[in-house]
Amino acid sequence: LPHFGFTASKSAQDTVQWQPLSEQAIQSALAQHKRVFVDVTADWCITCKVNKYNVLQKEDVQAALQQPDVVALRGDWTLPSDAITDFLKTRGQVAVPFNQVYGPGLPEGEALPTLLTRDAVLQTLKKAKGITQ
């Protein structure tokens, strides 16, 4: 079996100030013309760990998620949560990982692929910015 070193590696650090996921938090950020990155994850989810290690903890993605106009929201589904289950269901999802980006350019949100890539995250965050003048 391949060894990914999720717990052993200290090279990738998560320095993003994640806030709790809620519909209200998304709407509040959008009302302030901010972009929103949603990460719904669980400790038992292997794909979530791959996404975190290979994409979300990389320097360029960390920098993008820490821009002043970006709000990073995380929903933890490690233990059953009606709020997270409802959030996923309203978006036609039944499993994690689930990532979505909102913003002035994406007011309805755009779901990202299950297996994230740095390009997908960065391009969608850029798209969410919309037209600025």
Q: In the chain, where are the structural domains located?
A: 19-129
Pairing of strands 35-41, 70-76: parallel
Give the N- to C-terminal CA distance of the chain in Å, as an integer. 51
- CATH number for region 19-129: 3.40.30.10
CA gap 13, 30 in Å, rounded:
27
pLDDT in tens, 22-70: 999 999 999 999 999 999 999 999 999 999 999 999 999 999 999 999 9
SS3 of residue 102 by DSSP = strand
pTM to 2 decimal places: 0.89
What average pLDDT does the structure give for the chain? 91
